[in-house]
Amino acid sequence: MYLKATKRPGRSMQARIWMWVMLCLLVVAAFQLHTQRLDYRLYYWLKTHMHADDWQDRAVWLPNYRVEIDAKPVIGIDNNLSGLTYDRDLGMLWTVINGPNELVALSRDGDVLARYSLEGFSDVEAVTYIGNGQLVVAEERKQNLVIIDIPVSVDGRLLTSGSLNKEKYPSLKLAFWTEDNKGLESLAYDLKNDRLYVAKERDPIQLLEVSGLRASLDEGLPVSVRNLSDWIRDNVFATDVSSATYDEKSGHLVLLSDESKLLIEITTEGKVISFRSLARGFAGLQKGIPQAEGVNIDEDGYLYVISEPSLFYRFTREPD
């Protein structure tokens, strides 16, 4: 009886199979890197760190920030915090709740100081301080900007509760986009130059500069609008913009991305200066920030972030 020898694949065939397997794995890995925009992060990490000496002293410089208040619950608020602004005159923070609609005053330690119901408002999503004891509150779907007076007593003390009726305040309708849940998401105000930056969250991300808001309120002059969305398309490597703030010292914008868990610093010409991951382990965070919805910087350089599950974060810039 004779046994017929079976022919086994040669080494060249096995090598070709492994080559195709490795090629497929590389393609999948490259796709995932691009989808998460990790390739952009690596590029901008190299680019910004090469010029760190040129920018650190005249920028926010996010890589130097570390958390010092990490995920502190905002007592009494269960959910839906959105937007954050710093009131330099009263030395505290303002945020809004979009269901039920409320305006909330916070200390710089994340404690609730006052709450006001917003009567007649719809889907409030962002807030920014514009000086002279006034705030701009944004209605996301309607794309309305409502200018409200901060509720204080005759002697200038903050009232700790009450209601604010929309009908009593002037408003400005932008109507740049269709009325949906991805409309007006973020406000940031440049007090010195009377410029309001307005961001659309996604699909696509858009950024607009509205100049002359204060002049329109005080003198009835028209505002002018400049579309800065090319900055986002060409330079910003986040998949959404959930909030923004303008830093008066550097003259730069800081954009917050919930989906990408990022802070990105850009100039008012759209140049990326620095960025900071808000994922677990970065900036000293014990856990990644869940659904970050508001960011702001005060005159002392402290950086604040709030998340929609009602968590408060404060970051401080460490020495170089």
Residue 100 shares a structural domain with residue 17 = no
CA dihedral 276, 282, 287, 291 (to 10 degrees): 10
In-domain check, residue 74: yes
Residue 154 shares a structural domain with residue 23 = no
Q: Which pairing describes strands 161-165 and 112-119: parallel, antiparallel, or unpaired?
A: parallel
Residue 28 shares a structural domain with residue 159 = no
Residue 41 shares a structural domain with residue 149 = no
- Amino acid residing at 258: D
Give the residue with greater pLDDT, 15 vs 257: 257
Convert the pLDDT of each residue in 86-100 to its tens digit: 999 999 999 999 889
Residue 40 shares a structural domain with residue 76 = no
Residue 46 shares a structural domain with residue 120 = no
DSSP character for 158?
A: B
Per-residue pLDDT, averaged over 39-61, amounts to: 67
pLDDT at 17 over 80: no
Residue 159 shares a structural domain with residue 185 = yes
Per-residue pLDDT, averaged over 233-262, amounts to: 92
Convert the pLDDT of each residue in 199-215 to its tens digit: 988 888 889 999 999 88
In-domain check, residue 36: yes
Residue 22 shares a structural domain with residue 148 = no
CATH number at residue 278: 2.120.10.30
- Looking at residue 4, what is its pLDDT? 52
* DSSP one-letter string for 168-200: GS-EEE---S-SSTTSEEEEEEETTTTEEEEEE
pLDDT at 46 over 60: no
| Beta strands, E only, 99-218 | 101-106, 112-119, 124-129, 134-139, 144-149, 161-165, 171-173, 184-190, 195-200, 206-211
CA distance 26 to 6: 34
Convert the pLDDT of each residue in 123-158 to its tens digit: 999 999 999 999 999 998 888 899 999 999 888 889
Task: Give the pTM.
Answer: 0.85
- Looking at residue 33, what is its pLDDT? 44
Q: What share of the chain is helix, strand, coil (3-state, %, to 5)?
A: 20, 40, 40
| CA dist list (Å): 113 to 68, 74, 258, 270, 303 | 21, 11, 26, 36, 19
- Looking at residue 28, what is its pLDDT? 46
* Structural domain count, the chain: 2
Residue 178 shares a structural domain with residue 241 = yes
Contact indicator for 255, 236 with CB cutoff of 8 Å: yes
Sorting pLDDT into bands at 50, 70 and 90, what band is 217?
confident
Domain that holds residue 20: 11-50
Contact indicator for 237, 37 with CB cutoff of 8 Å: yes
Residue 103, token pair as written in the block: 């305006």
Which range has the worst mean pLDDT, 180-189, 198-207, 241-250?
A: 180-189
Per-residue pLDDT, averaged over 64-81, amounts to: 95
- Looking at residue 156, what is its pLDDT? 83
pLDDT at 181 over 90: no
